[in-house]
Chains A and B, each alone.
Chain A
Amino acid sequence: MTHITDFSAYGFNRIIKYKGVFDFDGLYKFVRKWLTDRDWDFFEIEAKEKPPWIIYKWMAFKKITFYAALQIKINFRVWEPKEVIILKDGQKKKMMDARLKIDLSGAQITDYDGDFEKSAFLKKVETFLNAYVLYHENLLKYFDYLDYYMHGLMTEIKDYLGMETASNAY
């Protein structure tokens, strides 16, 4: 049975809040490129410009095996954006002065094609696999992999914004 384990339900989502001047267009392209360069399928679920908010909701999807896939959800929310022009490296550049909130959350999807839904016996086989055979694999191979991927993405976003806590020892 297709099962989605949303790690944000266990408190494993990450929230970045920033207030200041930043290049929103550049950030948009940077995050998208970061995901596509690492072979994630990228989907823009929602793009809403409703003053004083700008809301973007993205989803990135990656198949790991025939049984498991990973999903990252990125929600951007910008409050009260104002366009400003600053001088950077001797050139005029358009930036945005606003409050930004980025919510990163991940999920693991098992049996995304519904192969184990064909009969009651296969469903029981799947339950046994997840509970006993693949228990540590689910934790170490999928959850850990996704968790540290998201740490990397979070650090790259903070580095792009020039935040002081853009550091990752992992």
Chain B
Amino acid sequence: MADTIFPMVDERIEYEGLFSMKEVFRILDKYFRQKGYDKKIVFDEEYHTETGKYIHVKFTPYKKVDDYIRIMMRIWIYAHNLIEVEKELEGKKIKTNQGKLLMIFDSQMMTDYRESWSVSDPELGFKPIYFLIQVLMEKYIYRKRLAHWEGVIRHTLIGAKTEVASYLNLNKFLY
């Protein structure tokens, strides 16, 4: 059976003010494309209410590193009370959005995602032995390789969060 490791969970961005929802989504899309991830949008909801738009998107880019390891990010995007506003910037009028934005980032690494070590024969009962070999390999032989990919996942997730935070200008009070 595949083992799932969660290197980073529940990283959040909360923002209220002016931003472009199209631009936020485009930044994430482009970032993961450049990193070589495959795209997967689980669902995409947009409701027009009296107080503005409500948007809920679950975006899960993933990457099959090799035939044993698969890495995946999960990003939930919630936008509340989103309205379209027109602002003047350097003499030009631009259309943007105003509202509340909440983004939750999560990551996971799945080993043996093809379940090639989970093959079991009920008569011969090889499964426990395969499981033992798999555990020993992951603990002692593959340890550095798994730690390397955990580091890659952390770096990618922080990078995605930083890209969005930079766009929303959330880093200005750090220094």
Taking beta carbons and an 8 Å cutoff, which residues of A are in contact with B? Answer: 11-12, 14-21, 99, 144, 147-148, 151, 154, 158, 161, 163-170
Contacts and interface: CB of A to CB of B under 8 A. Distances in A.
4 tightest CB-CB pairs across the interface, nearest first? A20-B48, A164-B21, A19-B47, A17-B45
Contact of A15 (B25, B39, B42): B42
B115 to A, nearest CB: 13
A169 B42 CA distance: 17
17 contacts: A14-B41, A14-B42, A15-B44, A17-B44, A18-B45, A18-B47, A19-B46, A147-B38, A154-B44, A164-B46, A164-B82, A164-B97, A165-B25, A166-B22, A167-B22, A167-B26, A169-B29
Contacts of A154: 41, 44
A118 B40 CA distance: 38
Interface of B: 21-22, 25-26, 29-30, 32-33, 38-49, 53, 55, 57, 79, 82, 97
Contacts of A148: 39
A157 B164 CA distance: 25
A12 B40 contact: yes
Nearest to B22: A164
Given A14-B42, A170-B33, 11 more contacts: A14-B43, A15-B43, A18-B45, A163-B44, A164-B21, A164-B46, A164-B97, A165-B46, A165-B55, A166-B22, A168-B39
A80 to B, nearest CB: 13
Contacts of B45: 16-18
Nearest to B21: A164
Contacts of A163: 44, 46
Given A12-B40, A14-B41, A154-B41, A167 B25 contact: yes
A164 B41 contact: no
Nearest to A163: B46
